[in-house]
Amino acid sequence: MKKILGQNFLINDSIAKKIVELANFCQDDEIIEIGPGNGSLTDHLLIYHNKLTLLEIDFNLIKKLKIKYRNYNLKIINEDARFFKITGDKDRSIIGNLPYYASNKIIRNFLNQKNIKKMIFTIQKEVGQQITASDGKKSFLSFLVQSIADVKELLIIKPT
């Protein structure tokens, strides 16, 4: 784990399962997972979905993911989610345990792209509060996100 990349791995399997259940993706959705890390969400996504792309910035993790998922038909891309551009005309759903330092930029990057069906992110509590802020407490990010998307808090994860 590299502190410079702001990595925070989801290690609680029951929480990973709950996040995927709450995402409620359709079985035929094409899903992009941002920052799969050790594959906690990936493991549960693969139970229901076979159109999965993993977007990981850390090359060392990519090597491990390629070994772990060598028998699965998924795509692994080494790129920074802050700058990743989706190509093609198909709708995509996005999920990820976002690094704290980059959450804001990643969310804005995907909000500005076409063909996004749904986005489900695990984010730092303060970023979540900022995004879901109501009148009188709104920031630029909350105005931007709420003007484009329906925003819901699905789950609060306590520190472990």
In a domain, 74, yes or no: yes
Q: So what's the pLDDT on residue 1? A: 46
- Total-model pTM: 0.88
In a domain, 160, yes or no: no
> What's 61's domain CATH number?
3.40.50.150
Q: So what's the pLDDT on residue 159? A: 74
In a domain, 117, yes or no: yes
Alpha-carbon distance of 37 to 96, in angstroms, equals: 10
Cβ atoms within 10 Å of 129's Cβ, excluding its own:
14
Q: So what's the pLDDT on residue 160? A: 66
Place of tokens 């804001």: 104
Rg (CA), the chain: 15
Residue type, 157: I
Q: How many domains does the chain have?
A: 1
User: Percentages helix, strand, coil for the chain, rounded to the nearest 5?
Assistant: 40, 20, 45
Where in the sequence is the domain holding 60, given as residue range(s)?
24-80+90-123
Q: So what's the pLDDT on residue 3? A: 46
For every one of its 160 residues, what pLDDT tens digit does the chain have, with 9 covering 90 and above? 444 445 566 778 888 999 999 999 998 899 999 999 999 999 999 998 989 999 999 999 999 999 999 999 999 999 999 999 999 989 999 999 988 889 989 999 999 898 999 999 988 888 888 888 887 677 787 888 888 888 887 878 877 6
In a domain, 76, yes or no: yes
* Segments in the chain forming alpha helices (H): 13-23, 40-48, 59-68, 103-111, 125-131, 140-148
In a domain, 151, yes or no: no
Residue 34: closest CA among 61, 67, 64, 72? 61
Q: How many CA atoms lie within 13 A of 86 on its CB side?
A: 24
Read off the tokens for 151. 């925003």
